[in-house]
Chains A and B, each alone.
Chain A
């Protein structure tokens, strides 16, 4: 399987990665070779097999609906690289959206 550069650019965009031309070319080659190996699972007959997303057989575990202590807001805000008052700061998103 050989990926073309446009596909790699599209995937990088979906993944929110800004890659240099050199990186794009490197990943194009490397992912193509990894996908060649991965194609191996196409050899197996999986008709009627239920997909297994998880090894656990636990189903939704419900907790009691009680209020508990959570980490204080100032502690969490202190982790953020940029805050304004008690808010996380991001570049303007309206008008132009997530272009």
Chain B
């Protein structure tokens, strides 16, 4: 069997009829069949549906019609993004049988561009987690080491792409849930600027932080995917009317007089040595390409987690109030004499897992009478300070680089204490707080307990400057070969 094809190779090969969309899709289904029992990336797959869609693409091509920029690309969808076929569970018992009557805008745009929706991927329940362990239906495994987590919350999407089960996937981010699993699985993941991609059809967690973004095996593939899913949407009033640039047009042109900022706080001694080593090597790569590297001071980095876990849980406690056992999802049976309050409380308590309850509790607490000013309102002020600090940094440099996560993939069960799990998001969270864009790309490997684990490099740019972010990422990718390395099971066979 061949090496799995990436997004761009698939588009090119299918368009030139070297291989049919039905064949490439069949190969993805075969790989899922062979490996997903071990990995648990997928909640469910749509073999009949996806092969039908592939046939349509092959017919369009045969009749000389334009099948779209993603024709023949099998794409997995994180299970908190709704599709009008199959189930959308959000990794929750509350929605174990939920079937959405409509599809998310991002999914509709993928389909219109010729992409083939192959299945729904595992995630932490309602995207709350950094390991995919908080999924009610079991944890996804990291394809580099099955005893380790893939990261999260979009762990199923990241692991599926890293293992070559499909060339592309969508995930979502509230505080690093695309970039961190991309880093831990050794693939590319993009968190677009807040407002770049419509959130219509993304089940809401923290509405002022959430964004949908793509995973793929290389920078150019994610750029193509983002171009397709981005843009204004009448169904999401926070989606920006700004034009979506053709990210691929100039992606191979280096940025002239590139200035790279390295935040001092990102190279902490508490990071795994291989993580800091990867960042130092990246600095050398950019210096070798003629970039000027500046040391940047971001003292508010350390306040990101505290700020985030107030704002995100406050928003989550409000958003998840919709799960009431009345309109959709789980409904508990009541004992004699119980009323509406009991219906809400019983349905929610039976349907939600421990992490979701914990965050609803925290969010409710920080919004409750007497604490609102000390926590929520104060966090919103710190949020502005964090944004101002990042704005000032971007006035001095085109991009900030640093680690995506402080360590490579950790062992399943290792971070049982919730706070220790939250601290994994230290370097990704401020991008969500400020609404800027970021990408994680493969940048090295760590040897841990005799296993080789991937390490990610994060590149962040100011809001709506994804074009620069992709070009900077591409400069690094062209000078290195980390993105070509795959875990054993991601190779052919």
Contacts and interface: CB of A to CB of B under 8 A. Distances in A.
B380 A58 contact: no
Given A37-B306, A38-B310, A52 B327 contact: no
B340 A91 contact: yes
A88 B326 contact: yes
B368 interface: yes
A66 to B, nearest CB: 11
B64 interface: no
A8 B362 CA distance: 10
B144 interface: no
A88 to B, nearest CB: 5
Interface-centre pick from A7, A16, A30, A34 (highest chain B CB count, 10 A): A16
Contacts of B384: 49-52
B434 A11 contact: no
Nearest to A51: B380
B61 to A, nearest CB: 32
Interface string A41-71: 1101010011111111010110100000001
Given A16-B348, A41-B379, A55 B387 contact: yes
A23 interface: yes
Contacts of B326: 80-81, 88, 90
B340 A98 contact: yes
Contacts of B433: 55
B381 interface: yes
Contacts of B354: 23
Contacts of B305: 37
B361 A53 contact: no
B387 A90 contact: no
Interface residues of B, number: 72
A49 B419 contact: no
Interface in B65-100: 98-99
A37 B343 contact: no
Given A41-B306, A51-B381, A96-B339, A17 B195 contact: no
Interface stretch (B17-25, B47-55, B161-169, B234-242): B234-242
Interface stretch (B2-10, B113-121, B247-255, B330-338): B330-338
Interface-centre pick from A31, A44, A55 (highest chain B CB count, 10 A): A55
A63 B234 contact: yes
A46 B360 contact: no
Contact of B309 (A34, A75, A88): A34
Interface in B362-383: 362, 364-366, 368, 374-375, 377-383
Contacts of B380: 51-53
B378 A46 contact: yes
A33 to B, nearest CB: 6
A58 B240 contact: yes
Given A34-B362, A92-B339, A19 B357 contact: yes
A75 B101 contact: yes
Contact of B418 (A15, A30, A55, A90): A30
Contacts of B302: 40
Contacts of B342: 18, 91
Contacts of B368: 10-11, 14
B327 A80 contact: yes
Interface-centre pick from B194, B325, B326 (highest chain A CB count, 10 A): B326
B317 interface: yes
A90 B463 contact: no
A27 B208 contact: no
Contacts of A38: 306, 309-310, 366, 375
Contacts of B334: 91
B346 to A, nearest CB: 6
23 contacts: A16-B345, A17-B349, A18-B348, A19-B357, A23-B354, A27-B358, A34-B422, A39-B306, A44-B385, A49-B385, A51-B381, A52-B387, A53-B208, A53-B380, A55-B387, A56-B208, A63-B234, A71-B102, A79-B101, A80-B326, A81-B325, A82-B331, A92-B339
Interface of B: 98-99, 101-102, 194-195, 208, 234, 237-238, 240, 300, 302-303, 305-307, 309-310, 317, 321, 324-331, 334, 338-346, 348-349, 352, 354, 357-358, 360-362, 364-366, 368, 374-375, 377-385, 387, 417-419, 422, 433-435, 463
- The list of the 3 closest CB pairs from A to B, nearest first, reads A55-B435, A51-B380, A81-B331
Interface of A: 7-8, 10-12, 14-19, 23, 27, 30-31, 33-35, 37-42, 44, 46, 49-56, 58, 60-61, 63, 71, 75-76, 79-82, 88, 90-93, 96, 98-99
